[in-house]
């Protein structure tokens, strides 16, 4: 009940945002939730604005963390007061029972793309449309470590050789931090799942005093790097690329990086379902849009044609490129979703200690 009430309280705030949006002159619109900031700016320029220009359908955006999105979408669907149409969910989360309860089954929608050889087999699934594949990975400030920065998670735990503040995530995906703790403790990627929880927390106790930023949003990671709140961190590749494009002295390592992705689903009871489907169809049918987004954010788009439109440098840096895929960790979605509640509960208790 507490979670539902928090979600409803969040809805009130979002409703205020939506009511403030200008609607004069627009007869059609679609409301999409994203994680905001620099990430949303890229989507606006590459995807939303071209879609509006072609269709006349206005794209209204609301910003929230992934945890907030899930709570608000759950509250909307349970109270049958849905005011969003599309929301972003992690690739792993989109396979959960919670996602299935809140999002439309898009099986029928996906049939129109089933024979498309240019799209990845997972480009369109009942849970939603694949936005792209990315990574959560080790980053560091190259100005701080001029000779050689940390390359492995064991290096990150070596505060004597690599001094400075760390930046780690603090939200519902506790498995990420637990995974890198085990990698730092010598567990090989192939033996990572099921996670040895006790061993992971024992390792985390070693580094906890050196974590200066427990981030909850992508914008916190970019701002924290700019202001020097951390010199070494575990952040999303999309946000690291934003910093690199700004000319910031950021470098990263794919050693032990976690392969992740984002998927956009349509909320059950969405008030603008037809417009939502058009926006997602436009995305899948527009390799140039996908290419522009992934060129900027360093991700692997769902269209092979889009990959061909990206620069050679961007293609080489994609998370699923052969030279980096061999170093990455593919998370066990089934195990993570099965144990999600227990993982979150223990994580929250540990953070309060």
Same domain, 138 and 273: no
Q: Are residues 19 and 128 in the same domain?
A: yes
CA distance 285 to 279: 10
pLDDT at 4 over 80: no
Q: Are residues 152 and 248 in the same domain?
A: yes
Band of pLDDT at residue 22, cut at 50, 70 and 90 = very low
Closest CA to 84 of 94, 95, 73: 73
Cβ neighbours for 325, distance < 8 A, ≥ 6 positions apart: 259, 319
| Token pair of 263 as six digits | 């998927």
Together in a domain, 55 and 182: no
In a domain, 320, yes or no: no
* Token couple for 247: 């000319």
Same domain flag for 139 and 126 = no
Question: Domain check: are 11 and 76 in the same one?
Answer: yes
In a domain, 229, yes or no: yes
Range of the domain at 122: 2-133+262-315
d(CA 103, CA 283): 19
| 8 Å CB contact between 55 and 47 | no
pLDDT digits (tens, 9 = 90+) for 128-183: 999 999 999 999 999 999 889 999 999 999 999 999 999 999 987 899 999 999 99
* Residue 321 counted as domain residue: no
pLDDT for position 171: 85
Same domain flag for 40 and 82: yes
What token pair was written down for 335?
């195990």
The enclosing domain of 288 has a CATH number of 3.40.190.10
Mean pLDDT score across all residues of the chain: 91
| Cis upstream peptide for 308 (omega within 30°) | no
pLDDT, one tens digit per residue, over 62-79 is: 999 888 999 999 999 999
Is there a domain that residue 255 lies in? yes
Let me know whether 339 and 235 are in one domain.
yes
User: Contact, 308 vs 290, CB < 8 A?
Assistant: no
- Looking at the structure of the chain, the number of domains it has is 2
What global pTM score does this model have?
A: 0.82
pLDDT number for residue 147: 83
What is the full DSSP assignment across 25-80? T-S-EEEEEE--HHHHHHHIIIIIHHHHHHH--EEEEEE--HHHHHHHHHHHHHHT
Whether residue 28 is found in the same domain as residue 172: no
Calpha distance 39→135 (Å, rounded): 15
Q: Which residue has the tokens 């527009």?
A: 286
Tens of pLDDT, residues 270-320: 999 999 999 999 999 999 999 999 999 999 999 999 999 999 999 988 898
Residues 169 and 65 in one domain: no
Q: What is the mean pLDDT of residues 253-274?
A: 96
User: CA 268, CA 264: separation in Å to the nearest integer?
Assistant: 13
């Amino acid at each position: 009940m507490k979670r539902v009430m928090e979600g409803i309280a969040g809805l009130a705030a979002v409703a205020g945002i939506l009511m403030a949006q200008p609607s004069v002159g627009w007869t059609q619109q679609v409301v999409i939730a994203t994680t905001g900031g620099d990430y949303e700016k890229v989507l606006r320029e590459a995807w939303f604005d071209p879609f509006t220009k072609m269709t006349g359908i206005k794209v209204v955006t609301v910003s929230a963390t992934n945890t907030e999105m899930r709570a608000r979408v759950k509250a909307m669907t349970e109270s049958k007061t849905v005011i969003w149409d599309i929301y972003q969910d992690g690739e792993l989360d989109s396979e959960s029972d919670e996602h299935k309860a809140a999002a439309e089954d898009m099986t029928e929608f996906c049939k129109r793309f089933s024979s498309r050889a240019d799209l990845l087999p997972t480009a369109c699934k009942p849970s939603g449309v694949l936005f792209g594949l990315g990574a959560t990975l080790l980053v560091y400030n190259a100005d701080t470590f001029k000779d050689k920065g940390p390359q492995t998670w064991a290096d990150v735990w070596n505060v004597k050789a690599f001094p400075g503040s760390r930046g780690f995530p603090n939200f519902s995906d506790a498995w990420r931090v637990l995974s890198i703790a085990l990698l730092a403790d010598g567990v090989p990627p192939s033996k990572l799942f099921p996670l040895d929880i006790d061993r992971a927390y024992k390792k985390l106790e070693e580094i906890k005093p050196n974590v200066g930023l427990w981030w909850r949003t992508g914008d916190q990671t970019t701002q924290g790097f700019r202001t020097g709140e951390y010199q070494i961190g575990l952040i999303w590749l999309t946000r690291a690329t934003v910093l690199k494009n700004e000319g910031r002295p950021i470098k990263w390592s794919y050693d032990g990086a976690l392969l992740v992705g984002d998927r956009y689903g349509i909320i059950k009871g969405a008030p603008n379902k037809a417009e939502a489907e058009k926006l997602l169809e436009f995305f899948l049918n527009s390799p140039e849009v996908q290419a522009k987004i992934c060129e900027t954010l360093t991700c692997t788009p769902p269209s092979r044609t889009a990959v061909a439109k990206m620069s050679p440098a961007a293609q080489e840096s994609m998370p699923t490129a052969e030279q980096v895929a061999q170093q990455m960790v593919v998370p066990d979605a089934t195990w993570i979703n099965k144990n999600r509640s227990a993982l979150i509960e223990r994580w929250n208790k540990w953070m309060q200690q």
